[in-house]
Chains A and B, each alone.
Chain A
Amino acid sequence: RKEVEQDPGPFNVPEGATVAFNCTYSNSASQSFFWYRQDCRKEPKLLMSVYSSGNEDGRFTAQLNRASQYISLLIRDSKLSDSATYLCVVNDANYGQNFVFGPGTRLSVLP
């Protein structure tokens, strides 16, 4: 079983739609969780951290369920500019950093 798994996608949605991505991780001792965004032929960029209490940043909402080892990202009112690959990232290290990247889910927002 892979350490971090994501919906394979691609997701093709119309502008204005709401779309949700799911991610599961295998290491129950994982410490911190993130969503990164990667545009075509660009480097990954941090989108948001994910906390147990859930967190929201504008149209983006991230949730963490430690019991189920599950992370989600919800995008409301999709924009064309949201088209990208979304990477679920888990830090396994108790101290320092051991980032494990999921395979990514591709999103295409269509006009």
Chain B
Amino acid sequence: SAVISQKPSRDICQRGTSLTIQCQVDSQVTMMFWYRQQPGQSLTLIATANQGSEATYESGFVIDKFPISRPNLTFSTLTVSNMSPEDSSIYLCSVGDRNSVTIYFGEGSWLTVV
């Protein structure tokens, strides 16, 4: 499986600020995803990061709040904008190939908003 690196691994952020999370993969991948895992909850898909075009967002998630970039097949960023305490979560980058049947996760970015 691909090696997926995320940074920052954790951060404590002030309410109202924005934070950008980076995801770097050691090989080209077709599909990259961003998930959120709120405390005590399972994973929820935020969006699919599309290379060269706008991300595809799931219901309940919007581009203004979670802008995503995907400039190439190995890199993506997720920004959490105008943060509130409700945004305190683990944010996970994951990758999969259109021909593969599984997805793999980065180590996650643990955000606490105070």
A interface residues, Cβ below 8 angstroms from B: 32, 34, 41-46, 49, 87, 91, 95-97, 99, 101-104
Contacts and interface: CB of A to CB of B under 8 A. Distances in A.
A104 B42 CA distance: 7
A72 to B, nearest CB: 18
Interface stretch (B12-20, B64-72, B74-82, B105-113): B105-113
Contact of B98 (A32, A43, A96, A103): A96
Q: Say which size band chain B's interface belongs to.
A: 20 to 34
Interface of B is mostly: strand
Contacts of A32: 101
B46 interface: no
B106 A43 contact: yes
B2 interface: no
B108 to A, nearest CB: 5
Contact of B42 (A34, A91, A103): A103
Contact of A87 (B33, B42, B90, B98): B42
Given A45-B105, A97-B96, A97-B103, 12 more contacts: A32-B101, A42-B108, A43-B90, A43-B105, A45-B104, A46-B102, A49-B101, A87-B43, A97-B31, A99-B45, A102-B42, A103-B42
